[in-house]
Structure 1
């Protein structure tokens, strides 16, 4: 079986980073929406733009350049997406791009791909099957259902508690050990069983003991 060339998963911070899409069709719209959601400073270059791109440009969510592409469009870009319907042009963009480049017509020509994303509150799962989109869709739906609203709410609860515990007289190593001891498979099993209140009570009790132990160590 051929190895997937895109084998290094990563989460990128695109806030206010320059991202460029070359192309103006439905695929460009899909790419634009995800980049906008990620906070990118987005420019779309295309002679003919989909009405949705025109609407996004009017609201200021992206900058639209209705003209032919030039290599200068890629200057200082953090991400480039070659999303034209012209295979030859997309190849030219891939060769010229001095940055991360996604090629929609021939992904292997680029240096990164975008996996499927399943979002539930602050939880984000990414999923790639290496080229089986039908299976990806099925697995994505399964993930969304398996890690439902209870997990999203529990994650929010943990984030707040984590910030509180950072104010205790404890070291990062001690807090890491606490979380590893507290967040066990049994906790996850209880969440799947819908026992959210019981789980929160268990975690809160453990956190209170940790605070007390931290205070006692400093006396």
Structure 2
């Protein structure tokens, strides 16, 4: 994120706009709409700007340059400078002076020398929505604004003002902050809000007073959502997962949950890292269970984020059992498990009539200590094998499967950081699996796909490489 989106209070603040043409007029409308005291600096202005000057809405000053401009116009209380000057050299000079003076400056169509940029604006005052592209694609921003304009009711601002009238009354009736937030969530999704949006504010006021007078002061009931967020790509999040993440009071997240996923969590929700790695556990499972119970008992909406799917090697079943035993309301929201997501991005069909009658998901983390998978049965199945958490024992896994009858030359796809931009796919065989992982410095997170279908990914890669080479030779 190159720019931090902020809303600037320009009411009765001094602002400068350099330029007197149509582009300058467009910026003048916006800045005046925010209540600024405006000075336009230009040798010539169009009729619209001249009319605003005549109405006393702004003042026009002739252009001056160099140190004179700084001393005459750039006093310490200037809140914003907008350069809408057609001459590129003049525009750069103004920007340079603004930078030296430490003033926020926007140079139209020059994000490279601007310190602030104008977003696309959807105005339902007091509700404002700003859309930006860091100055890279203003036409795209305009298209997005048009789409959002179509979606939002025209009386949305009236709804915000209506809610403001009752804020103190609701705060007095609902002293618990969590209960208060849920009250407002119910309000904006409910029939009273619909009355306001229809323009029936008198009926809405009566209904709102009935609701407030009937509100109790009990502690809200807590709940837990066990959410699978997929293998890493935020585009694989489900709509149901997004809704639950936006309703969270507190979020407990694992080691494999990336920042791009966490960006979809409600901004003011508390975040608690509970990641576990083979040699480093910030919190063991018993402590995690206790923390989830503690937060749910205080009435919070607890969201537990897990990579992939909660019920596929995610210990979601254990957490659900603990919550049900404590009579805590729990919802399980499935996610795209790593096997499905990684195989899809690698172009590997896990089942195929010619190669695999089924697929088996196996964890490789039990190879040292505990009970190992039933390698004898797995080796004889006409199945694709998908090994989770197996990179540390990749060589051992290959040896075990060969020992129990699987062909040494059986193809293996080693997928690191599956579905992410830095995804790596290494091709190997059972016989050379350990060597491949070591030589290519593959660390994790890693998924192993074993079976004839794994060769299909390699074949697609070869075809793509051949196509690129033919294309390059053509030129």
Question: Do both share a fold (TM > 0.5)?
Answer: yes
> Which whole-Å CA distance do the structure 2 matches of 1:117 and 1:195 have between them?
21
3-state SS of 2:15 partner: strand
Higher share in helix: 1
Give the 3 Å change call, closer, same or farther, for CA 160–195 of structure 1 in structure 2.
closer
8 Å Cα contact 2:42-2:61 kept in structure 1? yes
The match for 2:15 is 19
3-state SS of 2:166 partner: helix
Residue 99 (structure 1) aligned to one of 94, 97, 103: 103
3-state SS of 2:16 partner: strand
When normalised by structure 2's length, the TM-score is: 0.39
The match for 1:74 is 74
The size of the alignment, in residue pairs, is: 204
8 Å Cα contact 1:36-1:42 kept in structure 2? yes
Higher share in strand: 2
Q: Which runs of 5+ in 2 are unaligned?
A: 219-475
8 Å Cα contact 1:120-1:144 kept in structure 2? no
Residues 67-216 of structure 1 correspond to what in structure 2 (within 5 A)? 67-69=63-65, 70-72=69-71, 73-76=73-76, 77-97=78-98, 98-130=102-134, 131-165=136-170, 168=172, 174=176, 176-184=177-185, 187-188=188-189, 204-210=209-215, 213=217
> Which whole-Å CA distance do the structure 2 matches of 1:35 and 1:63 have between them?
14
Q: CA RMSD in A?
A: 3.1
3-state SS of 1:126 partner: strand
Give the 3 Å change call, closer, same or farther, for CA 79–159 of structure 1 in structure 2.
same
- Larger deviation, residues 60-69 vs 177-186: 177-186
8 Å Cα contact 2:119-2:130 kept in structure 1? yes
Q: Could you give the per-residue CA deviations for residues 5-63 of structure 1, whole angstroms, max 9, x where no partner exists?
A: 3x200011111111001111111111111111111111011111111111111111101
3-state SS of 1:124 partner: strand
The match for 2:52 is 56
8 Å Cα contact 2:170-2:180 kept in structure 1? no
8 Å Cα contact 1:182-1:203 kept in structure 2? no
> Which whole-Å CA distance do the structure 2 matches of 1:51 and 1:68 have between them?
21
Q: Which runs of 5+ in 1 are unaligned?
A: 215-219
Q: CA deviation at 1:138?
A: 2.1
When normalised by structure 1's length, the TM-score is: 0.79
